Amino acid sequence: MMAQHEKMRTITLEEHYSTRAFLEGPGRRRARDAQANLQAAAKYAQLTDLLCDLGEGRIASMDAAGIDVQVLSLGSPGVE
């Protein structure tokens, strides 16, 4: 049982991240597919920036959402 002054921690699972090196190598198909549609390309660029941010931006987003810990998984292309 938790003491009254203790706060339960919020942990999120299956949060995704990526790296520029991955996106330029094994994940390059995503960028190529997004380029086929200008609207998708703009969203892809924004999403890529968010996925690759493992620093202050991600921490600020976590703080804003009340998240204490994230379990990160590489957002790799599916097998399909």
Domain range annotation of the chain: 11-74
DSSP, res 37: S
Phi/psi of residue 68, nearest 5 degrees: -90, -40
Q: Tell me the pLDDT tens digit for each residue of 27-37.
A: 888 777 777 77
Give pLDDT, residue 41. Answer: 77
Give pLDDT, residue 56. Answer: 96
Q: Is the pTM of this model over 0.85?
A: no
Q: Tell me the pLDDT tens digit for each residue of 36-73.
A: 777 777 888 888 899 999 999 999 999 999 999 999 99
Give pLDDT, residue 32. Answer: 79
Our CA angle for 62, 68, 72, nearest 5°, is 70
